Amino acid sequence: MSKTIKIGTRDSELALWQAKTVQQQLENLGYKAELVPVKSTGDIVLDKPLYELGITGIFTRTLDVALLNHDVDIAVHSLKDVPTILPKGIEQIAVLKRGNVNDTLVFNDNEEFLGAREAVVATGSLRRRAQWLNRYPTHTIVDLRGNVNSRLQKLKDNDWNGAIFAAAGIGRIGIRPEDSINLSWMIPAPAQGAIMIAALGENDFAIEACSQLNHEETEICTSIEREFLNKLEGGCTAPIGALAFIKNEEVNFKGVLLSKDGSKKIEVSKTEALGKHDDIADFCANYIIDRGGKRLMDDVKNESKTTNVYSTKSLTEDQRLLFHEKVTAKSSDFIKTNPNRIQKHIVKNEIRNVIITSKNAVDALLTNFSADELQFKNIYCVGRRTKRLVENRIGKVTHSEKNAKALANYLVEFMEGTAVTFFCSNLRLDDLPNILEENNIVVNEVEAYETKFDGVSLDDSVESVMFYSPSTVQSFKQKNDKEVIAFCIGETTATEARKRFKDVRVAKVPTVESVIELVNAHYI
């Protein structure tokens, strides 16, 4: 035992505490050991949240290199920071008995803010952020990076209500403030609170020495948690929690996957007899996947990609799945509508001719009146979906066209009578009434709903935008002054877009799905 075991460690206070613990235990067994501190990328880059750095194993990579270069014999890690798949040639040799698994809330003043609508909590962990927002959706989360000591100091220096730490970390180096509580409801990171020793598979001396430090119960539990993480294909950038513990000869497991903003959560729990627990991680991961976990993981991954397409209408889950893998699309409603109050006398007597060009007009009519009160002799529509909605909820449609201009031309030629009632918005950008009036048809415009612009400023990475009405084009231009490819749902929208963009493309049929096909065709 004359050989000295060189222990590679990060040089933070917590990492050194963990390495010294391993050193002490090895020396208690009669081995000689010395510490070899190194800096990691995770310690050096402090100006970005951990999940934005995009490096798996950010706190372990430097030590991996030191092992492979034979600069150290073993590396000591917080197991929660270690990728589930180790580099070729490096093996997990031992896991020490686990410490406190909980997350801890440290607060500046008192914990009364937990009952308040507004509060500010700091954490650099995506998992903690997501679980906190799931429980307290109106709170604000701010990023917090650095070692344990610097994070505690930042909490003191700011007017945040509190910050979240690993209980094991602040407890091991003896700096846990009195103003703190364990968050027993928050599922910890896989393997949180456990210290792991790694070595080269060829280093028989280090393996023989360190394997004696392994704590079997901790190894079983952390292996289940890390296998669960691996099955979900989640690294440190995914909001995944997992905890296994053994009680009364049974393995108890609970896991969670969340969206980044905490609005979506899928949980699982399972108990198996010790010795018959080998499939518990696989079962629980599949349970999560079968209940929408894969889609949730894809969303998390896509959020880290650069957005190149933006939709000016919120897309459904099924619609988002239609995009090609080269497309990273985001969406929001650039137009917000509210139904207006419509006077009863307008529909009291049977109206001979009515024009309805949108779903919003249908909703506004039915907000004010029952279907029985809407006795229209002839209903004219724009779009197949509007026609279907009208026939399902109001009555039979006399005729429909794919756009407003085509409907106007039809009415000039074939409409009975010389007057029409048009249920429209306060913002009307089509030429339908103008065409009718030029041909001596009286148009009674009724503002059935109010349209408000609600566009947002887009990132420079957005190359193309999906538009669904002339109003969405105008709303976009209120907030953005950039040239993009305009993918339009129909010719009326395209006409407005051509006033502002050089490259305008029109879908074959006026549906969102057809616009998505147009987008895919460009990016494939």
pLDDT of the residue at 235: 53
pLDDT of the residue at 54: 38
Residue 467 predicted with pLDDT over 80: yes
pLDDT of the residue at 316: 84
Per DSSP, what are the bridge partners of residue 421? Answer: 354, 444
- Conformational region of residue 227, where left means phi above 0, alpha means psi within -120 to 50, and beta covers everything else: alpha
> Which is nearest to 284 in space by CA: 263, 253, 307?
253
pLDDT of the residue at 19: 96
Least reliable range by pLDDT among 315-324, 333-342, 390-399, 418-427: 315-324
pLDDT of the residue at 306: 79
pLDDT of the residue at 488: 96
pLDDT of the residue at 508: 87
pLDDT band, residue 469 (cuts 50/70/90)? confident
Phi and psi for 62 in degrees, rounded to 5?
-65, -40
Q: Can you point out the beta strands (E) in 11-119?
A: 32-38, 74-78, 90-95, 103-107
pLDDT of the residue at 404: 86
Residue 5 predicted with pLDDT over 60: yes
> Which is nearest to 4 in space by CA: 155, 206, 200, 227?
206
Contact status, residue 111 vs residue 105, Cβ threshold 8 Å = yes
Contact status, residue 467 vs residue 486, Cβ threshold 8 Å = yes
Share of the chain above pLDDT 90, in %: 67
**Architecture, CATH, for domain 1-97+191-214:** 3-Layer(aba) Sandwich (3.40)
Is domain 103-183 annotated with CATH 3.40.190.10? yes
pLDDT band, residue 40 (cuts 50/70/90)? low
pLDDT of the residue at 43: 47
Residues contacting residue 278 through CB under 8 Å, at least 6 positions apart: none
pLDDT of the residue at 515: 94
| Catalytic residue numbers, as ranges | 81
Instruction: Give the pLDDT confidence of 139-150 residue by residue, as tens digits.
Output: 999 988 888 888
Q: Across residues 357-372, what is the average pLDDT?
A: 91
Question: What is the fold of 216-301?
Answer: Double Stranded RNA Binding Domain (3.30.160)
Does residue 243 or residue 83 have the better pLDDT? 243
Strand 103-107 relative to strand 162-166: parallel, antiparallel, unpaired? antiparallel
Does residue 60 or residue 131 have the better pLDDT? 131
Residue 484 predicted with pLDDT over 90: yes
pLDDT of the residue at 307: 84
Query: Per-domain residue ranges for the chain?
Result: 1-97+191-214, 103-183, 216-301, 305-334+454-523, 350-361+374-452
pLDDT of the residue at 110: 86
pLDDT band, residue 2 (cuts 50/70/90)? low
pLDDT of the residue at 58: 56
pLDDT of the residue at 389: 93
3-class DSSP state of 93: strand
Question: What is the fold of 305-334+454-523?
Answer: Rossmann fold (3.40.50)
Residue 464 predicted with pLDDT over 80: yes
Q: Which CATH class is domain 350-361+374-452?
A: alpha beta
Average pLDDT of every residue of the chain: 89
Same fold, 1-97+191-214 and 305-334+454-523: no
Task: Locate all alpha helices (DSSP H) within 85-242, ordered by sequence.
Answer: 126-135, 148-157, 167-172, 204-210, 216-231
Share of the chain above pLDDT 70, in %: 93
Q: Across residues 210-231, what is the average pLDDT?
A: 96
Instruction: Give the pLDDT confidence of 70-122 residue by residue, as tens digits.
Output: 899 999 999 998 888 888 889 999 999 999 999 999 999 888 899 999 999 99
